[in-house]
Chain A
């Protein structure tokens, strides 16, 4: 067994994840029963019992979402602290990319949180709308989230099991060294794309173009990640060669990363729930506010740099 499994953080992470899995499995069983036997207009005793179990499922998902958010924070924190005992790693980036499971795991964790948020929104709408229009769909959606969660556990166990304390890994500046990213965009076009997408999002959301804004918000999520990694982070670190999406989460930069990513995820959640499920102006307003806040925080250091150095683009 590798030493990693004896690190206190990893033990806590796995223990909490596994206990969450037990409860979620119970909820998933109840859900399958519910989907199979549910008849909206029946007045039988069985129907009544089934409706009661929907309360349980809702509570479990609420609690598990809450826990998942904490676990994601703990996970990134663990990665950062593991970088002390893994040769070559200077922050989470090195640890994550040390085996094939790391990056999909991080992405999956974010997706699960985003999906759980959306589920709670649908559930709320379903509860207050007459006739429960989303009833079957929301439970199918939950089974999908459960499936993602199982994959998440599988990846997490594999990730830690394959983490070597002997083989050296690369540090973040090296991993993100190439200005070529997965879209092979140059930095200037990346930044242009970032701001253009932001403006397009504002436009489509205000004009109620639902599918377009959903597509844009997903694209923006990815482009933001790239833009932060390859462009904006260098201004936060005040070092042109330091490109890293994880170091902004460390105490050296006042944990600003947690705020940046939270605002981005929240904005995407509001935009997606507005675009896909409920057309409420309140949701749209929140999406606009969080997007603007996110863009403002991310670009603050960059704009500050431009002003201080009297540079024009």
Chain B
């Protein structure tokens, strides 16, 4: 076994040039797919960890297919349903900045709510709620911060609510970088201030979130909400999770379908490339045959030789993808998954590497690689020694 391996490696080193092109192209192709798998896996990990903190049920009002504000009387109706322990109206909406065609997501929070205070303190350790409420303050996401700095809004920003007034709001703090994936374009401010800027009347909410701690009761609550008003949309936590799962499958899947077309082309090139029997190849086979190698032995030897090339290309491609995604943050490719039509998202990727992804990649690349070269290698192996050595 060992002398054979030694011989194999010697041959590979001798024919470096012959394998180099295939090796580089393979490594590149593998790196491309591995990067998307890594990006997709780490985004999934991040999003699912934040989804756990989502409300159990979200209630929205729909009219003629459009999302509307809902009356605050719905809040009491929802609270009256058995099993609902907490119902909270939310105020949020997009603030559009026309000159740059960008929009921020303004979220109003009730800073007097103890639960909210606790959550905020977990997010920003040194927040002083009292100081925050003394004047009009806001907490902004990293993407917003970057945008404001660009336009020299270093301390405050002036919003223009629909009633033509001016609202000057000071920047209190920036959300931590770890929340960048979903919180990049977010502006947090007091709920009354948010109402003013978004132009939502006092007796209305954007939507209502409900807490139903008992999992078995959720379906009943869902049904009761469904019959209470006929113009609602009710979103459960599971719906959101499934939606994201499908979204990532879809994005990853479309990429993979396109990729497999590229891969098929590569395999065809590989087939063509190996079908050209060079004199050096023929000579090598002739020498092996004349020292007593069988056709079977030569085929398996050639397969092993190329397996080593494919395998090392795989290793290099995967390592390259790791560096590309987790060290450099996957420039260009990230936009497929994050989208870039709004504020630039600066999310960094949390490492999430699954063994199953690596196995999948190996199967998708190395196996068809080997299959594509079997027939050409056999053609090389059956060349007549006497014709070459003449």
Contact = CB atoms under 8 A, between A and B. Distances in A.
Interface of A: 3, 5-9, 11-12, 15-16, 19-20, 22-23, 26, 52, 55-56, 58-60, 63, 67, 70-71, 74, 77, 81, 84-85
Interface string B131-167: 0000000000000000000000000000000000000
A132 B108 CA distance: 84
A150 to B, nearest CB: 17
Q: Which 4 A-B pairs have the closest CB atoms?
A: A6-B253, A19-B368, A56-B378, A52-B382
B98 to A, nearest CB: 37
Interface in B81-126: none
B375 A23 contact: yes
Given A11-B260, A59-B296, A67-B367, A5 B253 contact: yes
Contacts of A11: 253, 256-257, 260, 364
A45 to B, nearest CB: 11
Interface residues of B, number: 34
Contacts of B360: 8-9, 12, 74
Contact of A15 (B250, B263, B382): B263
A55 B370 contact: no
B363 interface: yes
B375 A6 contact: no
A5 B360 CA distance: 15
A63 B370 contact: yes
A22 B249 CA distance: 28
B363 A16 contact: yes
Nearest to B299: A59
B374 interface: yes
Contacts of B52: none
Interface in B219-267: 242, 245-246, 249-250, 252-254, 256-257, 260, 263, 267
B376 to A, nearest CB: 11
Contacts of B250: 3, 6
B300 interface: yes
B78 interface: no
B371 A55 contact: no
Nearest to A87: B242
B215 to A, nearest CB: 16
Given A16-B364, A52-B295, 20 more contacts: A3-B253, A5-B253, A6-B249, A6-B253, A7-B249, A8-B253, A9-B360, A16-B368, A19-B267, A19-B371, A19-B372, A20-B367, A20-B371, A55-B381, A56-B374, A59-B299, A59-B374, A60-B374, A70-B363, A84-B245
Nearest to A57: B378
Interface string B279-314: 000000000000000011001100100000000000
26 contacts: A3-B249, A6-B250, A6-B253, A6-B257, A7-B249, A7-B253, A8-B252, A8-B253, A8-B360, A11-B253, A11-B257, A15-B260, A16-B367, A16-B368, A19-B372, A22-B371, A55-B295, A55-B296, A56-B378, A58-B296, A59-B296, A59-B374, A67-B367, A74-B363, A84-B245, A85-B242
Given A15-B364, A52-B382, A55-B382, A23 B295 contact: no
A15 B368 contact: yes
Contacts of B260: 11, 15
Contacts of B364: 11-12, 15-16
Contacts of B321: none
Contacts of A3: 246, 249-250, 253
Contacts of B299: 55-56, 59
Nearest to A24: B371
B37 interface: yes
Contacts of A59: 296, 299-300, 303, 374, 378
A6 B260 CA distance: 12
A281 B257 CA distance: 50
A132 to B, nearest CB: 15
Interface string B362-390: 01100110111011001001100000000
Contact of A8 (B37, B246, B263): B37
B368 A77 contact: no
A85 B250 CA distance: 13
A206 B285 CA distance: 46
B384 to A, nearest CB: 10
A85 B257 contact: no
A56 to B, nearest CB: 4
Given A52-B295, A67-B367, A26 B381 contact: no
Nearest to B263: A15
